[in-house]
Structures are given as structure tokens and as C-alpha cells.
């Protein structure tokens, strides 16, 4: 099976590619802007005709689109998160119309949740940030493309290699910089929100299952833990794993810029279980332990492998 992974050097894409390479009989192509990419593909600027030629040369049986932007201004977000899936769908219709397309979406597409309520794939989409809005636009393009396509609406990914642009990776970096001394202080923003954290390795496994599953799939599947966790609990658990003995104060910056006014998020993941036989396999503490361990081998000024 020939599978193209777009954004294969990113946080999610790297884990997806790693899982695919362990799949017997899989021929994995990496697509992106990296010098290591087998296929030079920039969805933010690609033209349909040129991208179609590139896709035809790879002749993929499946494409997993992990390319996306989580920060930047609205124009940057739209170029990658909205335009990218649109040009990809147009090129696939021309070059590989029978290929399965797996689009990694985001639970931010749903917007604010209702406390003690899990959102299903049929729930209303009411994003309140440019990030959520642009991811939703990309998802709508994919689900209405006429292709064999599925959008995986991913909760808050956590685990080894988490980037500093997201809250778990940022907190790990702050804890690493602060050290274990009792006088250390970390100042953060409000940590009272609830989030559905899911291990990045579980996300990768879901993407692989979606790409290789026989027969049609629902247009949208939620990928999360099915459990809403206070962000404060995540921070305290990670601090304990790190051996942090200082103080954590909620009086400064440090929250995720794309969280907006969303105080509760939790996904119903029953459909993914039914369609993919998928369910999360890592507990949050295991994910945070793997995240912390990965920061210890991060090169100076770089990111963990």
C-alpha cells in the first residue's frame, strides 16, 4: 500500500509516519517543505495542476494530511488550514480520485462545550478562534469533496515531542528551565479550563487505521480520550513527574493563544471505536511521563526527536 503523509516532519505527522513505517507492506512517502521530503509539497502555495502531477507520480492509495498551522495571524492560518485541504482535494480528484484521504482536524472546530457533556460528530460547530474557524473550513472542504475522505477531529494531543507552541510542551519547557529548586516560581495564566487530552501516539494509530481500513468511513470521527481533565491537573501532574518543588502561580501569561473563551472540551469517541476499533491506550500520566523524558534529550535550541 502506498501512503503519502503530508507534514511528516511535524509533531503529529512524525508520529504518523513512524507508525506507518512499521506497517508490513506499506510504502510511505513524506511530503512537505523539508529538505528530507521525498515530495516537495507546500499546500499553502501549491497550484492544483502542479500538485496533481506530483500526486500522480506517487500514485498513493491513501493520503494523510497532517499539515497545518496552530499559530500565526488569520491569513497564515487560512493559507495552511483552509486553502491547503482545498487544493489537495482538487488535485486528488484529478490525479488519484480513488485514494483514501485522512484529514487531521481539531476539536477546536466545535468551539465551547457544555460542562459534563461530550460532543458527538453531529454536534454543532461553533469555533471562536481563527484557528478553529480555519480548521473547520478545511474540514468542510474535505467532507464535501466527493472523495473517499474522513476528518479526524483530534482533541488536545500530548506526549513525546510536544512542541512549545502548545500548552503541554510549553509547561515542560518552563519546568525544565526552572529546575527542581524549592525557590523556583512558574507563573501561568488561568488553568481552570477542562480539555480532552489524547496521546499523540494514539492519534497516529487512529490515522493509520483510518488510512488502511477497508470500506467507507463516516465523514467525521472524534479522536480523544473521552475524558475532560482540568488543565490545572495536567500542570500539577507534569510538575510532579518533573520533580518540581517550587511554586506555580496563576497570575501571568502561559495559556494557549488558540484556546479562546473555551472553558470545556470533551469528545464522544464511540464512533471511532465502532468504525475503526480504536480507543485510547495511554493514560494521561503515561503521556506526560513520555513528554518529560523526551525533553531531557532535546538538543540545544532544537526539538526532541
Catalytic residues: 131
Neighbours of 97 (CB within 10 A): 10
DSSP single-letter state for residue 115: T
CA–CA separation, 160 and 291 (whole Å): 4
Cell numbers linked to 216: 467507507
Neighbours of 26 (CB within 10 A): 17
Of the candidates 202, 204, 210, which has an alpha carbon nearest to the alpha carbon of residue 148? 210
CA atoms within 13 A on the CB side of 171: 29
Cα angle value 201/79/142 (rounded, 5°): 60
Q: Where are the alpha helices (DSSP H) in the chain?
A: 11-21, 48-58, 74-77, 84-95, 130-143, 167-178, 200-212, 231-242, 270-276, 284-295
Residue with cell 486528488: 92
Amino acid at each position: 500500500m502506498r501512503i503519502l503523509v503530508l507534514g511528516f516532519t511535524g509533531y503529529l505527522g512524525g508520529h504518523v509516519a513512524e507508525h506507518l513505517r512499521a506497517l508490513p507492506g506499506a510504502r510511505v512517502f513524506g511530503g512537505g517543505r523539508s529538505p528530507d521530503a521525498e515530495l516537495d509539497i507546500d499546500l499553502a502555495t501549491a497550484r492544483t495542476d502542479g500538485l496533481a502531477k506530483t500526486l500522480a507520480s506517487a500514485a498513493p492509495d491513501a493520503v494523510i494530511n497532517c499539515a497545518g498551522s496552530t499559530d500565526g495571524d488569520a491569513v497564515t492560518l487560512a493559507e495552511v488550514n483552509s486553502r491547503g485541504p482545498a487544493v489537495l482535494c482538487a488535485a486528488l480528484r484529478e490525479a488519484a480520485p480513488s485514494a483514501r484521504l485522512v484529514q487531521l482536524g481539531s476539536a477546536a472546530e466545535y468551539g465551547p462545550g457544555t460542562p459534563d457533556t461530550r460532543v458527538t460528530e453531529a454536534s454543532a460547530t461553533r469555533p471562536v478562534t481563527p484557528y478553529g474557524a480555519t480548521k473547520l473550513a478545511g474540514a468542510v472542504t474535505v467532507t464535501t469533496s466527493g472523495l473517499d475522505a474522513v476528518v479526524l477531529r483530534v482533541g488536545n494531543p500530548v506526549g513525546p515531542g510536544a512542541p512549545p507552541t502548545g500548552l503541554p510542551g510549553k509547561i515542560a519547557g518552563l519546568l525544565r528551565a526552572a529546575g527542581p529548586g524549592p525557590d523556583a516560581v512558574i507563573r501561568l495564566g488561568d488553568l481552570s479550563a477542562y480539555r480532552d487530552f489524547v496521546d499523540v501516539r494514539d492519534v497516529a494509530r487512529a490515522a493509520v487505521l483510518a488510512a488502511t481500513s477497508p470500506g467507507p468511513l463516516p465523514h467525521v470521527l472524534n479522536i480523544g480520550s473521552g475524558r475532560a481533565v482540568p488543565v490545572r491537573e495536567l500542570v500539577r501532574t507534569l510538575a510532579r513527574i518533573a520533580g518540581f518543588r517550587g511554586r506555580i502561580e496563576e497570575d501571568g501569561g502561559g495559556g494557549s493563544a488558540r484556546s479562546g473563551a473555551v472553558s470545556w472540551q470533551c469528545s464522544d469517541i464511540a464512533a471511532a471505536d465502532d468504525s475503526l476499533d480504536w480507543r485510547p491506550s495511554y493514560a494521561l500520566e503515561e503521556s506526560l511521563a513520555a513528554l518529560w523524558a523526551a525533553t531531557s534529550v532535546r538538543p540545544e535550541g532544537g526539538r526532541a526527536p
